[in-house]
Structure 1
Amino acid sequence: MAYWLFKTEPDTFSIDTLRTQKVACWEGVRNYQARNMLRDEVKEGDWVLIYHSSCKNIGVAGIAKVVKAAYPDHFAFDIESDYYDAKSSVENPRWFMVDIEFVRKTERVIPLSVLKAMPELENFALVKRGNRLSVMPVSEEEWQAILTKEHLPARQ
């Protein structure tokens, strides 16, 4: 079992969307490094922090579990999809997705500012300058440290 952080823009897909759908495919990843992690490393049973980005309340918003390991992202084959890729085919897919299941929302959104201030996360990719990956690994220690922050008041 491993731990991950998946970034999403809540105007497109949020923890509340996942809560309503219960299970959803995590499609549309179009970065090769993130794709490689989804395809090669993310496994059924892994835990996921859902992270809201590009919004008013940026931060960790909930928890999900991977319920289906990587398979071809069929939206890449659909010319009507925003995720269409003419170079991807059923025979030779370039992009992959996983299915995740809603576990719970965090008690509050755990802001990036709080995460950046945590010494336990000094090596965490999310808090490093310039990191834009939509899928990133989280160590067990980082996971536990992050979840201890959901019960604290927003101002520290």
Structure 2
Amino acid sequence: MAYWLVKSEPDECGIDDFARAPDEPIAWDGVRNYQARNFLAEMDEGDRVFMYHSSCKLIGIAGVIRVVRAAYPDPTQFDEQSPYFDAKSSPEKPRWKAVDMVFERKFDDVIPLQRLKEESALADLPLVKKGARLSVMPVTESQWNHILSMVGS
């Protein structure tokens, strides 16, 4: 099992969307950054993922979701009506990936970015480094456990 963090604006897709139907998978699609895509391609069934809310009132880690379907071709890349359509991609040679995830847990309080930055155990977490803009990034097991300890788990 691997650990990850995904970032999204909660009005687009947030922890509450997953919590509304906890057993219904939500496709994590529309990622159009090559490095983030490569991380998606590494995700596997059972991997656990922190949901990070960005561009909102309460920015930070809001909860945990879990991968239930490993990386597959992102269907939005083929949909001409989608904002994520990619004319250079084809079903024979897809360029982009998606994974399906389900709800695991919502934290009582969002763990703010500033608090994460103050933790020396998280100094190497890509999220806290300057210029970290990726929407998908790896988390080490020790970072994962440290973050969970911050919410009393």
Q: Which residue of 2 aligns with 1:62?
A: 63
2:151 is equivalent to residue 146 of structure 1: no
Contact 1:109 1:150 in 2 (8 A): no
Q: Which residue of 1 aligns with 2:133?
A: 132
Q: Distance in 2 between matches of 1:27 and 1:135?
A: 11
Gaps of 5+ in 1: 152-156
Q: Distance in 2 between matches of 1:36 and 1:2?
A: 14
Q: Which residue of 2 aligns with 1:92?
A: 93
Paired amino acid for 2:71: A
Structure 2 SS opposite 1:34: helix
Contact 1:59 1:112 in 2 (8 A): yes
| 1:29/1:141 CA distance change after superposition, 3 Å | same
Q: Matched residue pairs, number?
A: 150
Shift of 1:48: 0.3
Matches within 5 A, 1:40-119: 41-119=42-120
Shift of 1:112: 0.3
Q: Distance in 2 between matches of 1:122 and 1:71?
A: 32
Q: Which residue of 2 aligns with 1:36?
A: 38
Paired amino acid for 1:142: Q
Q: Which residue of 2 aligns with 1:19?
A: 19
Shift of 1:129: 0.3
**Structure 1 outlier segments of 4+, above 2 Å:** none
CA distances 1:105-145 after superposition (whole Å, capped 9, x unpaired): 01210000100000000111100000101110001110111
Gaps of 5+ in 2: none
Q: What TM-score, normalized by structure 2, do the two folds share?
A: 0.95
Give me the CA root mean square deviation.
0.9
